[in-house]
Amino acid sequence: MTTSNARTVTWFKWDEMSKETVSPMLDRRLITGDRMMLAHVYLKKGCIVPKHSHENEQITYILEGALKFWIGADESEIVMVRAGEVLHIPSNVPHKAEAMEDTLDVDIFDPPRADWLNKTDSYLRK
């Protein structure tokens, strides 16, 4: 006897999804699965993402623009990530970023960012 788990696929079109305005300098669109989150993050030049860390493993892929990252509790490692480049941030590693120009990045999180979903990400909403 076989059992069927009635799971279905979901199809998304970025251009048809509404943008969430998180701050005057940052908008985003989110797609969440069971164990992953995919986000389009739109940062205006000069946007600062304050230093923070999270349990979520993160992969950031820059589609347009450039982000400067400061990595570590002391922010001693600086990495410039430009269009076509990817930065992997392991779980619980402190990081901050600044948009060096208008930037579109794709962020992938595992597990999904609960603070983004329930809008308790106050560090971004200033």
CA distances from 18 to 12, 85, 109, 114 (A): 12, 26, 20, 19
- Which pLDDT belongs to residue 81? 98
Q: Distance between CA atoms of 87 and 90, rounded to whole angstroms?
A: 10
Q: Distance between CA atoms of 101 and 27, rounded to whole angstroms?
A: 15
CA distances from 77 to 6, 56, 69, 73, 99 (A): 46, 20, 8, 10, 17
Segment 83-111 shows an average pLDDT of 98
- Which pLDDT belongs to residue 31? 97
Residues 42, 19 contacting (CB under 8 angstroms): yes
Farthest-apart Cα atoms in the chain, separation: 60
6 sits in which H/E element: none
pLDDT, averaged across the chain: 95
- Which pLDDT belongs to residue 6? 79
Query: All domains of the chain, ordered by start, with CATH?
Result: 28-124 (2.60.120.10)
| Residue matched to tokens 């595992």 | 110
Residue that wins the pLDDT comparison between 1 and 116 = 116
pLDDT class of 19 with cuts at 50, 70, 90: very high
pLDDT class of 1 with cuts at 50, 70, 90: low
Tokens of 96: 């901050």
pLDDT class of 36 with cuts at 50, 70, 90: very high
Condensed to tens digits (0 to 9), the pLDDT of residues 48-78 reads 999 999 999 999 999 999 999 999 999 999 9
